[in-house]
Structure 1
Amino acid sequence: MDLRIQRAVVANLSTRPNAVETGPFVLGLDHGTDSPHINYATPVPGAEITAADVDALVAAFGGRPPRLEYVTTCAPDLERLLLDAGFAVEARNEYLICTPATFTAQPVPAGFELFVPDTDAEIAGVIGVQHEAFGSPGAASHADVDRQRRARDRGAVFTGARTADGRYAGGGGTVVPSDGICEVAGIAVAAPHRRRGLAGAITAAVTERLFERGIEVAWLEAGGDDSWRVYERVGFRPAGQRLYIAKY
């Protein structure tokens, strides 16, 4: 599974509008945002990597802080090269996977509805909740909306949640699927609506839509014990480890 996840990450970064291939790395650049969670690199699994390759990768970032995310077993010697080049570990996260066999649907809590954002205003409203939940409060930009539309046009899933009176309450989605596998990401619930089961309902709805489209494996990372429990209820199970490492 590690190899399959890493290959999917490579494929996803290759879809970025300004993606760069440099030696054994793919750098997923998008000049429409400065977010390090979008502009990062990953190694091609199984490729031989040298210190010179790391130097070339840093240069390819063009002044942006170099940052990588990858499954550790797919490049076991890379971390030492990066540390020698001045990088520092941000996090070691366990990733979880879900298949149709482990999936469990979750009810939508009373007072909310899930919907597929379609208009610019709906897409921006859901992204705004995600920004706030992940510590980047502020309205969604035109570039944010365009990025989401591009992903949707290539098969990504995006789901929103709102209250009965139309207030945006949460959302989540996926990257562009690749080879029967897809990452679920950006599961967010606005602060006033948390601990009511909405995160689980959103996660389940996104995951179920993937399976309806023939995706074999959905995967994600949990940001803490609370989210871990949410994802386990949906049917996600631990499967491997990924490293986040950067040079600021």
Structure 2
Amino acid sequence: MDLRIQRAVVANLANRPNAVECGPFVIGFDDSSDSPFINYATPVPGAEITAADVAALVAAFGDRKPRLEYVVSCAPALEKLLIEAGFTVEVRHEYLVCTPSTFVEPPTPDGFALIEPVSDDELHGMIAVQSAAFGELYTPNPAEADRQRRNQQRGGVLVAARTTGGRYAGGAVSSVPSDGISEVAGIAVDSPFRRQGVGAAITAAVVRRLFGAGVEIAWLEASGDDSWRVYERVGFRPAGQRLYISKN
């Protein structure tokens, strides 16, 4: 599973508008955003990596913050090289996977509707909720709306939750599927609407659409016990470790 997930991450970054291959790494540059959480690198599984490769990677980032995300087991010696080059671990997360056999779709809570945002107003409504939850990772502006629209046009899934009164309550997106795998990310629920089942409904709506399009494995990461319980209810199960590491 680790290898399939890491290969999907490599493919996703390689398809970015301004992707760069740098030795045993792929950097997913996207000039529509300056966020280091969008512009980051990952190692190619099985590639031999040296200190010189890490130095070349840092140079390739130029004025941007050098940053990597990857499945730990696919490059077990890399962390030591990065630490020696001045990188600092941001966080370690366990990733979870869901398959059609484990998937459970809860009902949409009363008073809410789930939509696939298409118009500028719908995209901005979803992104505004994600921005409140994740800060610079999602910025409610035309460039971010265009980025999400490109993702959607290439096969990524976008789902937003709206109250019957028209207020945006949450949202989530997926990466463009690769080799039957897609990441579910940006799962956000506005604070007044939490603990009402909205997060589980949004997550499940994305996953259902992915499986309907032929995806075999959906994966995501949980940042705390509350979100972990939400994802487990939808059918996600722990599968491996990922590392986030950057250099100031």
- Range of TM-score over shorter length: over 0.9
Superposition deviation, residue 138 in structure 1: 8.6
RMSD of aligned alpha carbons = 1.1
The AA in structure 1 aligned to 2:65 is: P
Equivalent position of 1:177 in the other structure: 177
Q: Aligned to 2:68, what secondary structure does the other structure show?
A: strand
Q: Which runs of 5+ in 1 are unaligned?
A: none
Q: Distance in 1 between matches of 2:244 and 2:13?
A: 15
Matches within 5 A, 1:80-119: 80-119=80-119
Superposition deviation, residue 193 in structure 1: 0.6
Equivalent position of 1:127 in the other structure: 127
- Contact preservation (8 Å) 2:183, 2:218: yes
Please state if 1:191 is matched with 2:172: no
- Contact preservation (8 Å) 1:124, 1:139: no
Q: Which runs of 5+ in 2 are unaligned?
A: none
Q: Distance in 2 between matches of 1:154 and 1:138?
A: 19
Equivalent position of 1:13 in the other structure: 13
Residue 65 to residue 13, structure 1, CA distance change in 2 (3 Å): same
Q: Distance in 2 between matches of 1:149 and 1:68?
A: 25
Please state if 1:153 is matched with 2:148: no
Please state if 1:46 is matched with 2:46: yes
Q: Distance in 1 between matches of 2:139 and 2:178?
A: 30
Q: Distance in 2 between matches of 1:14 and 1:244?
A: 18
Equivalent position of 2:210 in the other structure: 210
Q: Aligned to 1:5, what secondary structure does the other structure show?
A: helix
Q: Distance in 1 between matches of 2:129 and 2:198?
A: 13
Superposition deviation, residue 35 in structure 1: 1.1
The AA in structure 2 aligned to 1:220 is: L
- Contact preservation (8 Å) 2:33, 2:143: yes
Equivalent position of 1:69 in the other structure: 69
Q: Aligned to 1:172, what secondary structure does the other structure show?
A: strand
The AA in structure 2 aligned to 1:124 is: H
Q: Distance in 2 between matches of 1:218 and 1:138?
A: 21
The AA in structure 1 aligned to 2:226 is: D
Q: Aligned to 1:187, what secondary structure does the other structure show?
A: strand
Please state if 1:226 is matched with 2:220: no
Superposition deviation, residue 179 in structure 1: 0.6
- Contact preservation (8 Å) 1:158, 1:174: yes
TM-score, scaled to structure 2: 0.98
CA deviation map 1:53-89 (0-9, x unaligned)? 0000001111111000000010010000000000010
- Which is further off, 11-20 or 95-104? 11-20
The AA in structure 1 aligned to 2:239 is: A
Residue 204 to residue 24, structure 1, CA distance change in 2 (3 Å): same
Residue 234 to residue 40, structure 1, CA distance change in 2 (3 Å): same
CA deviation map 1:188-207 (0-9, x unaligned)? 00111111000000000000
Superposition deviation, residue 107 in structure 1: 1.0
- Contact preservation (8 Å) 1:42, 1:70: yes
Q: Distance in 1 between matches of 2:23 and 2:136?
A: 33
Matches within 5 A, 1:130-141: 130-136=130-136, 140-141=140-141
Count of equivalent residues: 248
Instruction: Name the % identity.
Output: 68
Q: Aligned to 1:202, what secondary structure does the other structure show?
A: helix
Equivalent position of 1:167 in the other structure: 167
Q: Aligned to 1:241, what secondary structure does the other structure show?
A: strand
Q: Distance in 2 between matches of 1:178 and 1:129?
A: 27
Superposition deviation, residue 135 in structure 1: 3.2
- Contact preservation (8 Å) 1:98, 1:217: yes
CA deviation map 1:85-134 (0-9, x unaligned)? 00010111000000000000111111111011110111111011100011
